[in-house]
Copies of this chain bind each other. A is one copy, B any other.
Amino acid sequence: MSIRKPVIGVMGPGKTELHTEPVEKHVELATELGKQIASHGWFLLTGGRNLGVMDAACRGAKSAGGTTIGILPGPDALDSSDAIDIPIITGMGSARNNVNALSSTVLIAVGMGPGTAAEVALALKARKPVVLLATQPEAEKFFTSLDASLVHVASDVESAIVHVKALLAAQSEATS
């Protein structure tokens, strides 16, 4: 197991959740984040749909030669992002958000919405480290109040990647 590649989860709103804020910012960040994840040789895991942050992260990862895993909520792959290599079809709706949380070595939220909030909360429940990238201050304060030891805040992709590296190094040390 020591040579298994880390699985980095990138979560964030689909277009349908982004009522009030500019989608372009989070889509740009997610694209760059996906590229960086692939460049570091990590697997990228997302919610798999052809929307918003999850689609953008996968496209970024593919542009850098990465491998992408999509945990789909529906009963088939019809709404899957084209940039998913491995569609996992759960048919369990938003209960699949817990699969996203459990399967990610580190979970990064890019922006925020109800589904993303559930994924962050389920990650904390499972004692998984979380990086909040460009989320609103209310989200940072709330999740930090739930568990300050597991929540890390980043304002750009570079610092998000620095957090991931440190978290992977700490975990590797803990299990060796």
Contact = CB atoms under 8 A, between A and B. Distances in A.
Contacts of A7: 86-87
A98 B93 contact: yes
Interface residues of A, number: 49
Contact of A115 (B71, B121, B139): B121
A125 B71 CA distance: 17
A75 B95 CA distance: 11
A43 B142 contact: no
Contacts of A138: 138, 141-142, 145
22 contacts: A1-B80, A7-B86, A43-B86, A69-B86, A75-B93, A76-B102, A86-B86, A87-B103, A88-B99, A90-B95, A90-B99, A91-B94, A92-B92, A92-B93, A94-B125, A97-B98, A114-B125, A114-B147, A121-B121, A138-B145, A139-B142, A141-B142
A172 interface: no
A102 B62 CA distance: 24
Interface of A: 1, 4-5, 7, 43, 69, 71, 75-77, 80, 82, 84-99, 102-103, 112-115, 117-118, 121-122, 124-126, 136, 138-139, 141-142, 145-147
A102 B91 contact: yes
Contacts of A145: 136, 138-139
B1 A82 contact: yes
